[in-house]
A = this chain, B = another copy of it.
Amino acid sequence: MSYREMLDTPCLVVFDDVLEQNLTEMASYARAHGLALRPHIKTHKTAEITRRQAELGAVGHTCAKLGEAEALADAGVLHDVLIAYEIVGEAKIRRLLNLMERVHVTVAVDSVAVAEPLSRAMQAAGTVLDVLLEIDAGLGRAGVLPGEPALRLAREVVQMPGLRLRGLMTHEGHAGRAADTAELERLGRAAGEAMVATAELLRRSGIPVEVVSVGSTPAAFVTTAVPGITEMRPGTYVFYDAASFRFGRIGPERCALRILTTVISRPAPDRAILDAGSKTLAMDPPPPGRHGHGYLVECPDAVITRLNEEHAFVQLPPHCQGLQVGDRVEVIPNHVCPVVNLQDELFVVRDGDVVATWRVLARGKVR
């Protein structure tokens, strides 16, 4: 029996062969370019893919939150992690110290206000924490600005006992929101160049910089082409999603994860209602140039016009109006990471059969 009949809906299906292709392609790229690969686990949140990434040569992993790292460390698959986030507050610093006893941990800092309490806690514990300066290379989120502001912060951090400044990191997520490939390349290159120039500025000032780390799947092959970048931290590449289509490098056939869903109502010839709503597809908007809440594999011209929590409203073009109540269809989500975060398991398919169920171990770990 095929997975399409076997699984109840809505559920997340992962195609093993496509996943393996995505994993090996990125691992090969990193190897060929002398880059350390430190994938972000936020996309898959599973022990199985964490382990496979390490087998394929990842130097370690990236997490946003301590809770993600704790879950994967508990599963025995995490050995070296960058928490690409500012650790703030006593409760989290206590957890960080615990995590450091079993995993090599590096964290991001973007201000003295973040770094000082870490320094005090590490001194008190008689240990040393590796840190990277988080640089804002254009995203406008957290991070210190490149150049002089970064140098000023580096000069303070490098003198703080209990902290060892290892280098710089950024998330060039703004490049992934570019309107076209030309803009993607311009923004990605500018981000990479700002990172390398800042690293050089620090080195000229006597501050050693070993790590110059960038992270973003859309810009992965652009930012890392700047000489001087040492590490890449892509996340989405394991599954890809509909937001990945628009730069042309990959299409639906490279999406390793789909939502299997059932038509539960056909209230009008041009409208179908699916049993996957925002609790399954998530509400992340489509990228520039695309419409609706996902890509319907069986009818790419259909538009998922609205989501309620448990309903997708689908506008069907004339050639797709044969869909009936009970039919199953597959959707590629706009943004795969929050979709995985909504589920407890992924169903792994090989040659049409369900061969494994992987637990979304790090689901909901927001702390």
Interface residues of A (CB under 8 A from B): 8-11, 42, 64-65, 85-86, 88-89, 91-92, 110-111, 113-114, 117, 136, 140-145, 173, 262-267, 271, 273, 275-280, 282-285, 308-311, 313, 324-326, 337-338, 341-344, 364, 366-367
Q: Chain A binding site: helix, strand, loop or mixed by DSSP?
A: loop
Residues of B within 8 A of A65 (CB): 310
Whether B341 and A266, one on each chain, are in contact in the complex, defined by CB atoms closer than 8 angstroms, is: no
CB contact between A325 and one of B114, B342, B344 (< 8 Å): that residue: B114
Given contacts A279-B366, A325-B111, A338-B278, contact A142 B8 (CB under 8 A): no
Whether A267 and B308, one on each chain, are in contact in the complex, defined by CB atoms closer than 8 angstroms, is: no
* Supplied contacts A8-B92, A342-B342, 14 more A-B pairs, CB within 8 Å: A9-B89, A85-B264, A88-B264, A88-B325, A88-B326, A113-B266, A113-B324, A141-B273, A141-B313, A279-B341, A283-B284, A309-B338, A309-B341, A342-B366
Residues of B within 8 A of A341 (CB): 279, 309, 342
Given contacts A309-B42, A325-B88, contact A367 B11 (CB under 8 A): yes
Residues of B within 8 A of A266 (CB): 111, 113
Residues of B within 8 A of A366 (CB): 10, 275-277, 279-280, 310, 342-343
